[in-house]
Amino acid sequence: MPLIAIVIATLAIGVEQFVQWKFGPMGLVALVALTIGIKAKNTMIGGIGAVLLVMLLAQTG
């Protein structure tokens, strides 16, 4: 069980670092908003985070 928690935490930190490297601080804000929205079951905050991430992805493509 602790091994699974360590792997999940490492994966989460890796995704966070990748988003911050690729999209800068706005990507980190979007990822945090999406995460908070999902954990709090708040669709408005989660939707804002998702829209911000999509907008960041669209501008790089």
Judge if pTM exceeds 0.75.
Answer: no
Could you give the CA distance from residue 59 to residue 37 in angstroms, rounded to a whole number?
23
Total number of domains in the chain: 1
Structural domain containing residue 17: 2-60
Q: Does residue 61 register a pLDDT over 60? A: no
In the DSSP assignment, the letter for residue 41 is: T
- List CB contacts of 6: < 8 A, sequence separation 6 or more: none
1-60 pLDDT, tens digit each? 788 888 888 988 888 888 878 888 888 888 889 889 999 999 999 999 999 988 888 875
Q: Please answer whether residues 36 and 45 qualify as being in contact, where contact means their C-beta atoms are separated by less than 8 angstroms.
A: yes
